[in-house]
Structure 1
């Protein structure tokens, strides 16, 4: 019996396959602390050193975007529509969901996310 397409499984498998060439889809989670992801940013990169061709963001006011099947399906559908060959899925939270210079002044810490103040964040690869 064939089960059909499972977006979460597709993302996990694609991210564990290693580099398979460009385009690369990147998936990064952000939250006010390291426990709940309230934002996910997904980009498609077409060549080494190139800026993202497409960038989409999803948000959740109350839940964790990592646990929302509808959001995961939208992400997987988006990456499939862009025909990505590689998926880079961040295993940890990348930092605060607010954007420096947009949501708070450049060079300062986010006043809404004290957890991330003066903490090292993972560097993008």
Structure 2
């Protein structure tokens, strides 16, 4: 799957809004707000459950990494997520 197609599929799922659980939450992190070098994908199976988090890192902007974006789509599909949230802000690495 190419990068544009993966990003469009993620955006489409985000635009649907809250439809219940299971839920996937996507957050980006980086040294600066212009370069996201890490992404965390959190899976929440049901309300009040502890999230299970998987993270990916890159030396380049991870938002432009076709492999990572395609992997996020596969995670969303695999868990049959009813809701997908995306925080567009690049949070500082801690």
Structure with greater helix percent: 2
Question: Shift in Å at residue 9 of structure 1?
Answer: 1.3
Bigger radius of gyration: 1
Q: Work out which structure has the larger RCO, using CA pairs closer than 8 Å and 6 or more positions apart in sequence.
A: 2
Match of 1:59 among 57, 65, 70: 57
Q: How many residues align?
A: 90
* Aligned-pair Cα RMSD in Å: 1.1
Mark the runs of 5 or more structure 2 residues left unpaired by the alignment.
none
What CA distance in whole angstroms lies between the structure 2 residues aligned with 1:60 and 1:67?
A: 10
Question: Shift in Å at residue 83 of structure 1?
Answer: 0.9
SS in 2 for 1:12: helix
What CA distance in whole angstroms lies between the structure 1 residues aligned with 2:54 and 2:14?
A: 18
Mark the runs of 5 or more structure 1 residues left unpaired by the alignment.
1-5, 99-125
What CA distance in whole angstroms lies between the structure 1 residues aligned with 2:92 and 2:19?
A: 27
